[in-house]
C-alpha cells in the first residue's frame, strides 16, 4: 500500500513539475511578446509624431500662400479693392409685391397676382 502511495505521489509530483515548466515557458514567451508589442507601439507613436509634423508643415499658411503665388498666380487681396454690397449693381429689379394672399371664406385661401385678373 505504501509503495503504491509512493508511486502515486511520484506521478503527481512529476505531472505538477511538467505543468510548472510549461507555465513558466508560456509566461516567458508572453513577456517576450509583450516587449515586442511595446517596441512596435513606440515605433508607431514615433511614426505618428513624424506624420503630424509633416501635416503641420504641409498646412502652414505661409507655405500655402507661397505655393498659390508660384503656381496659381494668386496674390493677397488689396483692401482698397473691396466693395460694399450696396455698391454692387442689381441685375434684376425686385418686384413690388407680385403676389398677395386673399382669403375667400373661412377655410379657403387663394393666391392671386396683384394687379392681374381677379
Rounded alpha-carbon distances, angstroms, from residue 104 to 100, 107, 108, 110: 13, 8, 6, 7
Q: In the chain, what is the straight-line distance between the N-terminal and C-terminal CA atoms, in Å?
A: 122
Structure confidence at residue 117 as a pLDDT band (50, 70, 90): low
Provide the Cα torsion 42, 47, 49, 51; round to 10°.
-170
Q: Mean per-residue pLDDT for 61-73?
A: 93
Rounded to 5°, the CA angle 7-12-18 comes to 125
Between 2 and 22, residue with greater pLDDT: 22
Locus of grid cell 407680385:
98
Per-residue confidence (pLDDT) for residue 78, from 0 to 100: 82
Task: Kindly list the domain boundaries of the chain, sorted by start residue.
Answer: 2-81
* Structural Rg of the chain based on CA atoms: 43
Amino acid at each position: 500500500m505504501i509503495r503504491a502511495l509512493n508511486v502515486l505521489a511520484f506521478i503527481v509530483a512529476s505531472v505538477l513539475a511538467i505543468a510548472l515548466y510549461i507555465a513558466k515557458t508560456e509566461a516567458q514567451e508572453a513577456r517576450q511578446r509583450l516587449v515586442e508589442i511595446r517596441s512596435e507601439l513606440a515605433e508607431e507613436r514615433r511614426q505618428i509624431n513624424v506624420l503630424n509634423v509633416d501635416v503641420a508643415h504641409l498646412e502652414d499658411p505661409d507655405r500655402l500662400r507661397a505655393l498659390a503665388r508660384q503656381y496659381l498666380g494668386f496674390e493677397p487681396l488689396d483692401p482698397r479693392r473691396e466693395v460694399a454690397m450696396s455698391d454692387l449693381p442689381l441685375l434684376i429689379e425686385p418686384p413690388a409685391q407680385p403676389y398677395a394672399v386673399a382669403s375667400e371664406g373661412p377655410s379657403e385661401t387663394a393666391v392671386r397676382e396683384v394687379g392681374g385678373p381677379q
